Chain A
Amino acid sequence: MMNNLANILGKLNVHALPSSPITAGAVIGGSIAVLAVIALITYKKRWTWLYKEWITTTNHKKIGVMYIIVAVLMLLRGASDAGMMRLQQATSVGSAHGLLSPNMFQQVVSAHGTIMIFFAGMGLMFGLINLVLPLMIGARDVAFPFMNSTSFWLFAFGAVLINLSLGIGEFSAAGWLAYPPLSELKYSPGVGVDYWIWSLQIAGIGSLLSGINFIVTILKMRAPGMTLMKMPMFAWSVLGAMTLVAFAFPILTVTLTLLALDRTLGMHFFSAGYGGNAMMYINLIWAWGHPEVYILILPAFGIFSEIVSTFSSKRLFGYKSMVWAIWAIVFLSYGVWLHHFFTMGAGANVNAVFGIATMLIAVPTGVKIFNWLFTMYRGRIRFTSPMIWFMGFVFLFTMGGVAGVLMAVPPIDFQLHNSLFLVAHFHTMIVSGVLFGYFAGITYWFPKTFGFRLNEKLGKYAAYCWIVGFILAFLPLYILGIMGATRRMDHYSASLGWQPLFIVAGIGASIIFIGLGLQILQVIVSIWKRNETKDLSGDPWSARTLEWSTTSPPPEYNFALLPVVNQRDAYWASKHSKTKTENDSYSPIYSPKNTSSGFFIGLFSLTIGFSIIWHIWWLLIIGFLGLVLTIILRTTSGEHEKVITVSQIEKIEIPLNGGTKA
């Protein structure tokens, strides 16, 4: 009987609960926070509101907000992992061994990378795209609103699954890309790698769906008159990034599936011996992984394009060059993956070709930087906090780019590969490029989303802390790499003389944490004093693109009348043109109905992932049947759209237009 009971839960038993005080503390703290939120919602009687307004929403703006909330929470989790790593490496020297055991440290390292890329980075990216892209191209929603909701819930439940690993079982200790054979069952017998596989698999399928959704949205839903070459640069960047998603994420899905087959069904795709080939995995994962970097960074480039142009009150310089640069980057980024493993010994010809292809990417990237600078040239630059992020980006990103060019030379890479120099390089690219870009974007579009601006003073202080803290945290890592320090070390000997540099890096990280704290404070203060920064005009920055032509926040349908576009920077042009466009009368708007299907698809996917991780086969059947049933019910249910009538539109619009009918 006991035996049967044990089998019912598969591999899951009491040993899966956290054993170390640090994890236990984190789990208890996290659970208390979740319970507090649940209690608050119950106390305020907000469950129906939550269900009707958020969980079942298909509106791109609300989905965008939810993406950003999840991503920020994950960013904080990833940052606390980073803090633990800095603490460990500053203290675990010689006879001292730090707070974390080697295995725990490696779990923290793996979780940091995985969470930051897949959940913080991708979440902020899809959040921002959802918030502004449809508005920017004058659309009323994305092409497939229900699919959009499904994407979000797959992402959110992927995030839930990765956090479950903290309290139930363990996380992967094999690095953020889980190279086999280390990630094979033989060397990682626990459930950690399975958590890694299934949280990424679930979130990754969401990303793929989103990629397709936004490609179609951009190609099919632009406002009348907005030809491709009249699109805002952000839309071009997103189109580039989503093209990368559409072709790169299937590779990830397949690679993860093969690894899962190895681990769960005892196959030998990547195992050591028995005909398995780990090098195949490393090729496949980077054939996804390198494009992934550009998936994150292209939208950030797009954000910078919008911001620099707006705050310089000038047209974007070299629009056509910018478009070509994006597509050059998209194209090249598929042909460079091997630069992640020159040290595998592929031979001089292969290494040289991939090295040269890698360096070529520096050309379009450099072109973009020059174009931004010449957008500022002969402009009237307002140094708002988004511009501070941009300035920090230019300085740090260029420096990181040089480090990248160095490592693109294979013989130099032999010396710097997998060292802390490499770690410093890609953090420079991703923090200054991606994260600074998204922070700037959030500050820029916050008033559009919520109707009031963020506190500028705190925003600037936060940016300064991030920039100074970043330099202090990562310059020592560049030096340490040159001194011979490898990445992911939980301990090193005192005689190497590395400790002072690790301590400086720790101080730098602390300054970044102050910056992060200031950002949290910024949001709180801004909400508190929201009446002082209300955006009544819809255009608080004197901006250029269509999203600023509607109210802040925009109505559910974005535009009562679809804008007609004749040129780039359509809204700027309409503000400065003397002839007022004739107003048409309103017509009814078709808007997608709410649906809970996306939520349940996510929930059943989580069930499937969790049951495979723990080998609970009956639960797998339930999860699978639930998923299939949800999809059948959704596809056979009738009407998916509702009509917003003219009188409903007038009720919303007339007060906004000062009482006059359109």
Chain B
Amino acid sequence: MSKKSKILIILLPIILILAVSVWYLSGQNVAVLQPAGVIGQKERSLIFIALILSAVVVLPVYALTILIAWKYREGNTSAKYTPDWDHSRVLETIWWGIPLIIITILSVITWNSSHALDPYQAIASKVKPIQVQVVALDWKWLFIYPKQHIASVNKFVIPLNTPISFNITSDTVMNSFWLPNLGGQIYAMPGMSTTLHLMANKAGSYYGSSANISGKGFSGMNFTADAVSSNSYNSWISSLAKSKSVLNLNNYNKLALPSTYNRVSYYKNVPDGLFENIIMKYMEPITNGSSI
């Protein structure tokens, strides 16, 4: 076999695999790379910047590896052989220095982006933010709209171009609230409230999940987030206000019982302070902490 056909045999399957994957992925929702919200879009740019900076080191490594391995193979006796040459101040300065410079640049980017994209920081916008309270339960997500006194399970709707402020807790073990199309996740922990700010700018129905293992129903702990126009959002809110079920404490305690692969359900008349009470439950001394 000639050298050329050998190279071809290696290259062809690689090209084929690449082509098939690109074709396949073009029809799919590659959530992190196809963000539908401002935060996700900024996070995607960060991924690309970090990739490009890394390439400055990685590509030379790959090229050097192939070149050196080929040139200094045992069979090539014409190549220079210096068995005792074992250091060079110039070379070593280069490979301590250049990665250090790149990491310094990345550090500045990290510092700035960590602050700019801090999930606790409200998104600057003229539109008034909407508050959504998120409760991880065994094994479903409860979304409470405290101002509107409605709630839903495993699905919520938000208006486009409106900052959403999620307050997140758990009424069971730790979970992680992840909505990749809008950008990011934050842990849901019992007895605590964490915060995540997101804003959608493309209409659509987006997949979300719990990213942290939480027991046997964990894989079914998915939800959909619909980003819609403000008209559709308003009509969704008013339709929920006419739901059959009421989320009083009794019904909440029933809902909080373990169940798997829950369907979407809606609730009206959510009492004030439900979210806060769920958190406070874990602050009490040893008595009976099982229900509110």
Taking Cβ atoms with an 8 Å cutoff, the residues of A that contact B are 101-103, 106, 109, 173-175, 179-182, 187, 268, 272-274, 278-279, 312-321, 341, 343-345, 347-349, 351-352, 355-356, 359-360, 362-363, 366-367, 369-371, 373-383, 391, 394-395, 398-399, 401-402, 405-406, 408-412, 414-419, 479, 481-484, 486-493, 496-497, 500
Contacts and interface: CB of A to CB of B under 8 A. Distances in A.
A173 B173 CA distance: 13
Contacts of B91: 318, 370, 374
A541 to B, nearest CB: 13
A409 B176 contact: no
Contacts of B120: 345, 347-348
Contact of B30 (A315, A411, A414, A482): A482
Interface in B76-134: 79-88, 91-92, 95-96, 99-100, 103, 106-107, 109-111, 113-121
A182 B173 contact: yes
B83 A315 contact: yes
A482 B96 CA distance: 32
B73 A381 contact: yes
A367 B47 contact: no
A574 B281 CA distance: 73
Given A366-B99, A394-B61, A411-B46, A376 B115 contact: no
Residue from B58, B114, B185, B210 whose CB has the most chain A CB atoms within 10 Å: B114
Contacts, number: 290
A113 to B, nearest CB: 11
A415 B180 contact: yes
Contacts of B284: 273
A383 B107 CA distance: 39
B119 A378 contact: no
B115 to A, nearest CB: 4
Contact of A343 (B25, B61, B64, B186): B186
Contacts of A479: 21, 25, 30
A362 B32 contact: no
B51 A402 contact: yes
Interface of B: 21, 24-25, 27-33, 40, 42-43, 46-47, 50-51, 54, 57-58, 61-62, 64-65, 68-69, 72-74, 79-88, 91-92, 95-96, 99-100, 103, 106-107, 109-111, 113-121, 172-174, 176, 178, 180-181, 183-187, 189-191, 194-195, 207, 209-220, 222, 260, 281-286, 289
Contacts of B92: 318, 321, 367, 371
Given A366-B57, A415-B183, A486-B209, A181 B174 contact: yes
B82 A483 contact: no
Contacts of B50: 405-406, 409, 412
Nearest to B285: A274
A316 B31 CA distance: 45
B74 A381 contact: yes
A380 B80 CA distance: 9
Which residue among B100, B187, B195 has the maximum number of chain A CB atoms within 10 Å of its CB?
B187
A196 to B, nearest CB: 14
A102 B216 CA distance: 5
24 contacts: A106-B218, A278-B189, A314-B82, A317-B86, A321-B92, A345-B119, A345-B120, A347-B118, A347-B120, A348-B115, A367-B96, A391-B65, A398-B61, A409-B114, A410-B117, A411-B117, A414-B43, A414-B185, A415-B180, A418-B185, A482-B32, A486-B211, A487-B213, A496-B207
| CB-CB nearest 6 A-B residue pairs | A414-B184, A352-B114, A315-B86, A418-B211, A411-B117, A273-B282
Given A348-B114, A414-B183, A373 B65 contact: yes
Contacts of A486: 178, 209-211
B30 to A, nearest CB: 5
Given A272-B282, A484-B207, A411 B184 contact: yes
B286 A106 contact: no
Contacts of A408: 110
Contacts of B83: 313-315, 379-380
B99 to A, nearest CB: 4
B69 A174 contact: no
A63 to B, nearest CB: 34
A174 B213 CA distance: 7
Contacts of B82: 314, 378
A405 B47 CA distance: 10
B29 A483 contact: yes
B86 A411 contact: no
Nearest to A324: B96
Contacts of B106: 359, 405, 409
Nearest to A482: B32
The listed residue with most B CB atoms (<10 A of its CB), out of A316, A319, A367, is A367
Contact of B43 (A366, A371, A412, A489): A412
B180 A341 contact: no
Contacts of A412: 43, 46-47, 50
Nearest to A282: B174
Contact of A402 (B58, B86, B117): B58
Contact of A492 (B21, B113, B115, B219): B219
Nearest to B40: A415
Given A174-B213, A348-B115, A380-B74, A367 B95 contact: yes
A652 to B, nearest CB: 34
A181 B190 contact: yes
Contacts of B72: 312, 376-381
A373 B181 CA distance: 41
A491 B213 CA distance: 13
Nearest to A486: B211
A380 B99 CA distance: 28
Given A378-B82, A486-B211, A362 B173 contact: no
Nearest to B121: A348
Contacts of B213: 106, 109, 174-175, 179, 182, 487-488
B81 A321 contact: no
B69 A410 contact: no
B29 to A, nearest CB: 7
B187 A483 contact: no
A550 B110 CA distance: 52
A379 B69 CA distance: 10
Contacts of A179: 173-174, 212-213
